[in-house]
């Protein structure tokens, strides 16, 4: 079974702090994704990566950056956390670029910025 | 830009009954994939069913089936013989040519015993 893990289930940070969210997948997937999930808005794509050291902006990249130094690991960075970044963050991975490939999701990190 | 609309924020069904969750989408593409994902409370999101746009036959996975109407850009999910474990948030999603997934806002399904 594909396993996608995220470093924390719950995280509380202060405004202005630098925040790192880590995601690891164990199935050698090429693609990895970061979403944020907000009530009434569904999931919105922040960034995705289709290869090591490659990244593409999603719909809402402002205030975020990402890092993919190894194939299995994809990090989301909040350079200076703000209260409007309080949300559930979901990481996902998929095998390749074919549209048929499903995305496998991690359990999510619920981030609260105070 | 592709958009996905789930018009039912919440739905409720009696155990063993059938429920249909609605989804519409907007696209100018002819070849795409559609998905239904399930997110149980405090648990990971998992794939329920997928549909390839070029296939006319509706996808089926055990108690889950879809009604795919390409011309109407509609992709509804039917859950038959509902079980307590079906209670979850359900997301409809569309996969673009650029390989990113567009999600609807979700429908929260409650199953009453």
Contact B50 A50 (CB under 8 A): no
Q: How confident is the model at residue A96 (pLDDT cuts 50, 70, 90)?
A: confident
In this predicted model, what pLDDT tens digit does every residue of A5-43 receive, in sequence order? Answer: 999 999 999 999 999 999 999 989 999 999 999 998 999
By the CB < 8 Å criterion, does A50 face chain B? yes
pLDDT exceeds 90 at position B56: no
Q: Which of B44, B13, B35, B18 is nearest to B109 (CA)?
A: B13
- Contact between chains at B103 and A107 (C-beta distance less than 8 A): no
Number of cross-chain residue pairs from A and B with Cβ atoms under 8 Å apart = 51
Contact list in B for residue A45 (CB cut-off 8 A) is 100-101
Largest pairwise CA distance in chain A: 40
DSSP labels, chain B: --EEE---SEEEEETTS-EEE--EEE-S-SS-EEEEEEE-TTS--EEEEEEETT--SPPEETTEEEEEETTTTEEEEEE-S--GGG-EEEEEEEE-TTS-EEE---EEEEEE-
Token digits of residue A10: 């719950």
The residues with which A87 forms a beta bridge, in sequence order, are A111
Residue A97: per-residue pLDDT: 63
Structure confidence by residue, pLDDT tens digits, A31-87: 999 999 999 899 999 999 988 989 999 999 999 999 999 999 999 999 999 999 999
Q: Is A97 on the interface with B (CB under 8 A)?
A: yes
Q: What is the mean pLDDT of chain B?
A: 92
C-alpha distance from B108 to closest chain A C-alpha (Å): 11
Tokens for A73?
Answer: 């690991």
How many Å apart are CA B34 and CA A109, to the nearest integer?
26
d(CA A89, CA A35): 6
**Residue A23: phi, psi to the nearest 5?**
-135, 135
B4 three-class SS: strand
Q: Does B94 touch chain A (CB under 8 A)?
A: no
SS3 A30: coil
């Amino acid at each position: 079974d594909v396993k996608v893990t995220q470093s924390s289930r719950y995280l509380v940070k202060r405004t202005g702090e630098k925040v790192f969210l880590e995601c690891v997948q164990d199935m050698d997937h090429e693609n990895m994704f970061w979403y944020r999930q907000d009530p009434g808005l569904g999931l919105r794509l922040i960034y995705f990566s289709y290869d090591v050291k490659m990244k593409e902006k999603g719909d809402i990249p402002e205030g975020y950056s990402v890092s993919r130094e190894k194939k299995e690991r994809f990090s989301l960075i909040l350079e200076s956390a703000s209260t409007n970044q309080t949300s559930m963050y979901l990481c996902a991975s998929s095998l390749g670029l074919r549209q048929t490939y499903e995305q496998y999701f991690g359990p999510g990190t619920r981030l609260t910025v105070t | 830009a592709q958009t996905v609309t789930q018009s039912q924020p919440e739905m409720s069904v009696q155990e063993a009954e059938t429920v249909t969750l609605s989804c519409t989408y907007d696209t100018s593409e002819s070849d795409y994939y559609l998905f239904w994902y399930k997110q149980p409370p405090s648990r990971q999101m998992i794939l329920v069913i997928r549909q390839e746009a070029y296939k006319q036959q509706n996808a089926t996975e055990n108690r889950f089936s879809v009604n795919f109407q390409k011309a109407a850009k509609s992709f509804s999910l039917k859950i038959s013989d509902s079980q307590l474990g079906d209670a979850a948030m359900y997301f409809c999603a569309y996969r673009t040519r650029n390989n990113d997934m567009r999600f609807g806002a979700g429908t929260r399904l409650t199953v009453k015993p």
